[in-house]
Structure 1
Amino acid sequence: MSQSAPAARGLAPTSGGGSRLGRFAARLTGPLGSWWRGSVIPGIEHRAVIAKVDDEASLTPRYAFMILMSAGIAVLGLLLSSPAVVIGAMLISPLMGPIIGLGFGIATIDGNEIRRTAMTLAAGIVMAVLFTALVVFFSPIKDVTSEIAARTRPNLFDLMVALFSALAGAYAMIRGREGTIVGVAIATALMPPLATVGFGLATLNATVFFGALLLFVTNLMTIAIAAAVMARLYGFGPKLTSRQSGMQAGVIIVVFLALAIPLGYSLSQIAWEARAQRQAREVLAEQFPRQAKIDQLDIDFAGDPLTILATVLTPQFRSRAGALGEARLAKALGRPVKLSLDQFRVGTAAGDAEAAQLASASASAASLKERENAALVGRELALLAGVPAEAVLVDRDKRLAQVRANPLPGATLATYRALEQRLSAAEPQWTLQLIPPPLPLPDISLDGEELGDEGEANLALAIWAARRTGLALTVSGRANQSQIVLTKLSEAGISATSNDSSISSADVRLAWAFQTGAP
């Protein structure tokens, strides 16, 4: 490296010049500042450090290869939910080099260095995300594992981890303590969030994608800024004017606030959820004898109302525990709550410990099987209705599944009822309701004053359609025959009115009230 290049990048340490910021810092630190500038900074091999930073931040074939290998290991570790494999990806990831190089470029206000390291970093990010997305796309496993979920909700603590790790990493780079970088790489975990971003991209999961992206950006910006602060502290970039130093300080403050505010909110939300978990356990425990044990407690915080699934091992059943617990939980948490409570009776003697453990396992397995069965019923009903699974309303407590069907080509009301009956026969423990579109209703034929077999079947179909849709009907026909059909509909609990328009046909015609303009 030439003699002029180090000077241009501000490698020669000085006391801060005559800038107001430098004079203020000198007065503030006093003897400690003099000792730092006179003893510590001169001991730093600035040229060697810059050369090392430049080498670590270069876009080379080795860098690209290690990015791809690290990304591949990370995404496989995430899919397998293996912390050991994920740690292996952290150790070989070369992303720390260009991020620290970016920090040094910011410290010295070196535009060329900032552009170079930013391009290296951008190339690594794009390669990692696309490669991991490709792996996930062809993988038969696309479930959100615990390792993936852990990287979708960054909070203020993640920013603090990145800050402390970055300070340690920059110190290790400046002071020649490269061994420390291994621990820093594990702490900041730069590659796993990128692999999680790739997973979110491949599965079109926006929650995973943006959550992991925020975690990576938090680590990236925090490391770069912390590296810049350490570089300035150790005498890199001393040629800056007071205006440039002020700009640096302003950028650092703005970036930290931009990251800290949403991450702080996320931390407060996580803290509230932890308190809600504790309060839910306390409230449920109050409904049972002291020997009872809450074996499982799951809360869906995204639901409205909050959905709480709980399993209790108790020596004594409490019939009103669910209703009382739901009311008290709503009061304690300050939000509407829907509680699904399963009680399993176990003994209280010491010899019953093994039985309690077996009951606990059975309770968990039964609850899991129940949820899986509910999800299966929802998917089957959605398939019949031609709608996405999310459109199905499933009430696991009442074993009720309901969906509003899309119009199917050539389908009639009889078609939809047949589909409902077919699935109901396959799932006899569930009440399945397929709400049809308001298709034309059948005519009701009468033989004098009596309904024939065909008339009875058509009337039953009309009653089914009216119950499912909740819509009122109008009845048109001869007065005496219309009255017979009106009476039958009223007995079935269907709202129906007579249409004033008379027809000469022997059949009674039914129509939806909204189509005839009836009140």
Structure 2
Amino acid sequence: MMMQDDRPVADPPLWRAVPRWWRSHVIREIDHQAVVDRVREDDGWSPRYAFMILMSAGIAVLGLLLSSPAVVIGAMLISPLMGPIVGLGFALATVDSREIRRTLFTLAAGALIAILFTAFIVLLSPLQTVTSEIAARTRPNLFDLMVALFSALAGAYAMIRGKAGTIVGVAIATALMPPLATVGFGVATLNATVAGGAFLLFFTNFVTIALAAGIMARLYGFGRELSPRQSWMQSVFIGAIFVALAVPLGLSLRQIAWESNAAREARDVIRREFADEARISQLDIDFDARPLSVTASVLTSRYERNATARAGRVLADMLGQPVALDIEQIRVGEGTDTENAQLLAAQTARREVQGQVDRLTDRLALIAGVDPDAVTVDTASKRALVRARPLPEAGLATYRVLEQRAAAMAPGWTIEVEPPVLPLPDLALDQDGAPANADSLALALWAAQRIGLPIDIAVRGDDHAPLVQPFADRGVDARLTDGASADRAALRWRVAE
């Protein structure tokens, strides 16, 4: 309670007193021009900036390839990307369009240089496998956004209050250069999953830092000359961006949490099927497979019959979806020699079959010009299918020969190579109206079965119904149409009517 002219005057409400105190005691202490000068000193393009980008990118990609956290942290410390991002945040706070363009150019140029340089290093490197350090930067989630938000607020506070030492910790926490190096790795190895996930992580960190820096700048009195309408639009823009980022990242976090819980439940279910001294030596789960694929290796002193079936049913009920469970029991400790020999023989046979499948998959992928993941293998029926990539100047006959060669390398297997949709061969007819060239007919029948599209047989005359029969016998939808020649049947893929 204050007194004025000997009369009591009510204290202002808290929601008015706090902003008034903040403006008079906190904002007034800030040298705004000095802060802006410090920000502008590091947010523009310069030879030093380009050199440090190259050095930081080189260190980051080598640390990722070597899976060395210490080396990756070193790249974070010298990365100059924080400068233009913080500068962008201050430019957004003051709505300085010229400075926004300048910082965006600096950031985009630096990111592009880093990606190209790291991709070049990966292309020259004999190590091109996805390490744990690379994999850790391909699935951003809501926690990454929160780390970037808290780190950016701390960094902006340090910049405004002149506590430069805090920036080092912020650089380590937000990790701007390693995601860009991971993008370069994905580009060099043509791995879109790695490149896309890492770029999303970089984009999340970059946008969050810039917006958080802008929020902190407004809080400390930068941009006070903005109108209420500009301030309101600025707030709506920042809130919309955070929501747009938080929704997909939140879904990603939910999926990661579900996968972690599923792995824990799978381990518990499998362990309960064996004696207490049994140990799970390896557990692999393919969450992209349908049904969910779970493979486990268990070290046990006693072979448990039907353990796979029982655990599979329980796990399917717990996860609420079909599960394909495969438990490999490795006998250790005491036991009869006969049982050990049988178990070892079964395990050896399984490994031989898996090795054969892996070799077959690699060969088919090489022949078809696709990734091994594009090859479908049914081990139970010993059948493999692959859709071939278009090859320059290759016709249907080329793909048929490739299939025959692949089948010759895998006796006992059914190999099917689906060719691209290419022109069918014409059929020369003899005096009786039958195909004169058996090879052309065989090629047309093979292509029709592999591609699965209906065919039109264009020939002049009404007595050519037998031409349709070979296709019908193989389940191919074929029909006769009017053609220009009576002694040559033109085969065409039927266009949707």
Aligned-residue offset at 1:208: 1.2
1:432 matched to which residue of 2? Answer: 413
1:247 matched to which residue of 2? Answer: 233
After TM superposition, list the pairs within 5 Å mapping 1:36-55 onto structure 2.
Answer: 36-55=22-41
1:420 matched to which residue of 2? Answer: 407
Aligned-residue offset at 1:83: 1.0
Q: Distance in 1 between matches of 2:183 and 2:20?
A: 47
Aligned-residue offset at 1:217: 0.9
Q: Given the alignment of the two structures, is residue 133 of structure 1 paired with residue 114 of structure 2, yes or no?
A: no
Aligned-residue offset at 1:256: 0.4
* Aligned mate of 1:285, from 271, 288, 307: 271
Change in CA separation of 1:339 and 1:128 when aligned onto 2, cut-off 3 Å: same
Find the residue that maps to 1:141 and give its secondary structure. Answer: coil
Q: Distance in 2 between matches of 1:416 and 1:247?
A: 62
Q: Given the alignment of the two structures, is residue 268 of structure 1 paired with residue 250 of structure 2, yes or no?
A: no
Percent of aligned pairs sharing the same letter: 55
Alignment TM-score, normalising by the size of structure 2 = 0.74
Find the residue that maps to 1:343 and give its secondary structure. Answer: strand
Aligned-residue offset at 1:371: 6.0
Change in CA separation of 1:229 and 1:380 when aligned onto 2, cut-off 3 Å: same
Q: Distance in 2 between matches of 1:96 and 1:156?
A: 21
1:393 matched to which residue of 2? Answer: 376
After TM superposition, list the pairs within 5 Å mapping 1:59-138 onto structure 2.
Answer: 59-138=45-124
Q: Distance in 2 between matches of 1:367 and 1:175?
A: 65
Change in CA separation of 1:294 and 1:213 when aligned onto 2, cut-off 3 Å: same
Stretch of structure 1 that moved more, 412-421 or 152-161: 412-421
Aligned-residue offset at 1:515: 6.5
2:482 matched to which residue of 1? Answer: none
Stretch of structure 1 that moved more, 140-149 or 161-170: 140-149
Change in CA separation of 1:320 and 1:98 when aligned onto 2, cut-off 3 Å: same
Change in CA separation of 1:382 and 1:70 when aligned onto 2, cut-off 3 Å: closer
Aligned-residue offset at 1:410: 5.9
Q: Given the alignment of the two structures, is residue 375 of structure 1 paired with residue 361 of structure 2, yes or no?
A: no
Unaligned runs of 5+ in 2: 1-11, 336-346, 389-393, 426-445, 453-464, 480-497
After TM superposition, list the pairs within 5 Å mapping 1:212-227 onto structure 2.
Answer: 212-227=198-213
Find the residue that maps to 2:297 and give its secondary structure. Answer: strand
Q: Distance in 1 between matches of 2:249 and 2:257?
A: 12
1:235 matched to which residue of 2? Answer: 221
Q: 1:190-236: per-residue Cα shift (whole Å, max 9, x none)?
A: 01111111222222222112111111111111111111111111111
Change in CA separation of 1:416 and 1:61 when aligned onto 2, cut-off 3 Å: closer
Alignment TM-score, normalising by the size of structure 1 = 0.71
Amino acid of the structure 2 residue aligned with 1:37? R
Q: Quick check: 1:385–1:434 contact (8 Å CA) kept in 2?
A: no
Q: Quick check: 1:90–1:189 contact (8 Å CA) kept in 2?
A: yes
Aligned-residue offset at 1:65: 0.6
Q: Given the alignment of the two structures, is residue 210 of structure 1 paired with residue 191 of structure 2, yes or no?
A: no
Find the residue that maps to 1:196 and give its secondary structure. Answer: helix
Unaligned runs of 5+ in 1: 1-25, 350-363, 425-430, 441-464, 472-499, 502-508
Q: Distance in 2 between matches of 1:107 and 1:284?
A: 56
Change in CA separation of 1:372 and 1:104 when aligned onto 2, cut-off 3 Å: farther
Amino acid of the structure 2 residue aligned with 1:116? R
* Aligned mate of 1:188, from 174, 197, 203: 174
Find the residue that maps to 2:183 and give its secondary structure. Answer: helix
Q: Quick check: 2:89–2:209 contact (8 Å CA) kept in 1?
A: yes
Q: Distance in 2 between matches of 1:125 and 1:388?
A: 29
Q: Quick check: 2:367–2:402 contact (8 Å CA) kept in 1?
A: no
Amino acid of the structure 2 residue aligned with 1:158? D
Q: 1:79-114: per-residue Cα shift (whole Å, max 9, x none)?
A: 221111111110000000110011111111111221
Q: Distance in 2 between matches of 1:232 and 1:411?
A: 67
Amino acid of the structure 1 residue aligned with 2:146? M
Stretch of structure 1 that moved more, 176-185 or 138-147: 138-147
Q: Given the alignment of the two structures, is residue 324 of structure 1 paired with residue 310 of structure 2, yes or no?
A: yes
1:504 matched to which residue of 2? Answer: none
Aligned-residue offset at 1:173: 0.6
Amino acid of the structure 1 residue aligned with 2:81? L
1:479 matched to which residue of 2? Answer: none
Amino acid of the structure 2 residue aligned with 1:215? L
Q: How many residues align?
A: 411
Q: Distance in 1 between matches of 2:101 and 2:369?
A: 51
1:334 matched to which residue of 2? Answer: 320
Q: 1:112-154: per-residue Cα shift (whole Å, max 9, x none)?
A: 2211111111111111112112222232222111111111100
2:136 matched to which residue of 1? Answer: 150
Change in CA separation of 1:374 and 1:177 when aligned onto 2, cut-off 3 Å: farther
Aligned-residue offset at 1:158: 0.2
Change in CA separation of 1:28 and 1:119 when aligned onto 2, cut-off 3 Å: farther
Q: Distance in 2 between matches of 1:321 and 1:275?
A: 21
Q: 1:430-467: per-residue Cα shift (whole Å, max 9, x none)?
A: x5332478999xxxxxxxxxxxxxxxxxxxxxxxx9xx
Q: Distance in 2 between matches of 1:371 and 1:516?
A: 37
Aligned-residue offset at 1:38: 1.4
Amino acid of the structure 2 residue aligned with 1:420? A
Q: Quick check: 1:416–1:436 contact (8 Å CA) kept in 2?
A: yes
